[in-house]
Copies of this chain bind each other. A is one copy, B any other.
Amino acid sequence: MGGGAGIPTAAAVPGATAPEPDIGLAERLFERLRRQTADGRGVTRAAFGEGEQCAHDLVAAEGEAAGLRKHVDAGGNLYLTLPGHGATGRTILLGSHLDSVPMGGNYDGAAGVFAGLAIAAAWSRAGCSLADDLAVLALRAEESNWFPFSYIGSRMALGLLPPEALELARSDTGSSLAEHMRDLGLRPQEVAAGVPQIRPETIRAYVELHIEQGPVLIEADRPVALVDGIRGSFRYRQMRVLGEYAHSGAVPRAYRHDAVVAAADLVTRLHREWLRLEAEGRDLTLTFGQFYTDPAQHAFSKIAGEVSLSLDIRSHEAKTLETARALAHRHVDEVAAEHGVRIDTGPPTGSTPALMDRTLIQTFLTAKDALGLERFVMPSGAGHDAATFAGAGVPSLMLFVRNRNGSHNPDEAMEMDDFAAATRLLAEGVARIA
């Protein structure tokens, strides 16, 4: 029983490597899912809607056909389990989500679920098992454009969704989350009661494979990375710089309260601070994604009296996030005073950075070595369900697969070879979780 990688199996496992995942199965699923959820330009899989349900059905059917045990929890999350032989009472979760943004790409989310299924199905068919249960977990509603709330599926799984979130309206239908759940025969009242669908202490590990949403692996020429932390955020989603509209030619500089000049100064100052913190080796991103004068009032011949802008600061280092927050405060105050404008930052929002589990990172680095993959570790700038599990004390890890053109658009482009390499690493790492 069992190879060096800790995989007890009915069949023999050669050497230290895990049985080969069924990449072909994943490939067929990508193709069918793309076809079934195509929207003309990309794919659309509304959370608790048709596209997401179609993906859940596809995955459930394939999992059951491979002999995995199917379970759907009160929130609609799907578990496909390969029972362990060790009666440990613990489960290793290979999870991700199956919804997409509107006109999104085929791989964001689905890649993680299909990778898990490619492993669990192959092992099930080969008669292999781990001591712990191994469950593929298809989570609901990760993309917050459908309901304006983060990590709905994973919070439901852990009994952590605030009840009021069930009343949020879906952006396309206007119907509430609870209504959409009832339409699918799910149990919002149980979710509202905060009943954990799976208890954190029974989860041996949560591991999520996901496409990278930036260009780091493309630029570094690496197929797959381990993620050491998920960046937390500090945000002013709706700031306003309030100056005074006036004639562009008739008002001398000394009498101006120019909202554009003030807001531009704020952008430039904080960008300069980013350069400085980056030079100190701190992890940070800093983005003013929206910056606009009022179309009803602005004119080329008017000094701008108002600018709306958003600030999104992220770091996987809690201390850096705090430093950046304090710098934003300071420069907001200084800019307001220097330019004679008022700056209303609006309410701050944000999230806590989530650290990935150090032991899991070590295990997977060793797995990389075993597969001849170069070690490469990076933070995740985007949020993922892994942050929910890490926040609940579950040892968690993410793998990023190289991907071109970012995500949340139809042009995202993951090569199947990279997916295969990452899925093999996922299998090898999971097999090594002692």
Contacts and interface: CB of A to CB of B under 8 A. Distances in A.
A59 interface: no
Nearest to A248: B287
A161 interface: no
Contacts of A408: 247
Nearest to A309: B260
B289 A219 contact: no
Contact of A250 (B258, B261, B406): B406
Contacts of A287: 248-249, 258, 300-303
Contact of A249 (B249, B293, B312): B312
A214 B253 contact: no
Given A267-B264, A289-B293, A291-B260, A214 B382 contact: no
Given A214-B255, A250-B382, A312 B288 contact: no
A157 interface: no
A261 B252 contact: no
Interface in A232-265: 233, 235, 237, 245-253, 255, 258, 260-261, 263-265
A77 interface: no
B250 A380 contact: yes
Counting chain B CB atoms within 10 Å of each CB, the highest count among A219, A233, A264 belongs to A264
A41 to B, nearest CB: 14
A292 interface: yes
A252 B406 CA distance: 12
Interface string A395-408: 00000000000111
Contacts of A383: 249
A214 B278 contact: no
A299 interface: yes
Contacts of A251: 214-215, 285, 381, 406
A231 B304 CA distance: 20
Given A289-B260, A290-B304, A214 B252 contact: yes
A311 B287 CA distance: 24
Interface in A283-327: 285, 287-293, 295, 298-304, 307, 310-312, 314
Contact of A268 (B264, B278, B407): B264
A69 interface: no
Nearest to A258: B287
Contact of A231 (B246, B249, B289, B291): B249
Contact of A274 (B253, B307, B406): B253
A133 interface: no
B285 A252 contact: yes
Given A214-B251, A382-B250, A290 B299 contact: yes
Given A247-B214, A291-B307, A300-B289, A261 B253 contact: no
Interface in A199-217: 212-216
A213 B248 CA distance: 10
Contacts of A298: 289-290, 292
Given A271-B261, A287-B303, A289-B303, A212 B250 contact: yes
Contacts of A233: 249
Contacts of A237: 300
A250 B293 contact: no
Interface in A346-377: none
A289 B299 contact: yes
A406 B251 CA distance: 9
8 contacts: A214-B246, A214-B252, A216-B252, A247-B381, A247-B406, A247-B408, A252-B285, A287-B303
A-B pairs with lowest CB-CB distance, top 10? A249-B381, A214-B250, A264-B267, A300-B310, A248-B287, A250-B381, A292-B292, A264-B264, A213-B250, A214-B251
Interface of A: 212-216, 219, 231, 233, 235, 237, 245-253, 255, 258, 260-261, 263-265, 267-268, 271, 274-275, 278, 285, 287-293, 295, 298-304, 307, 310-312, 314, 380-383, 406-408
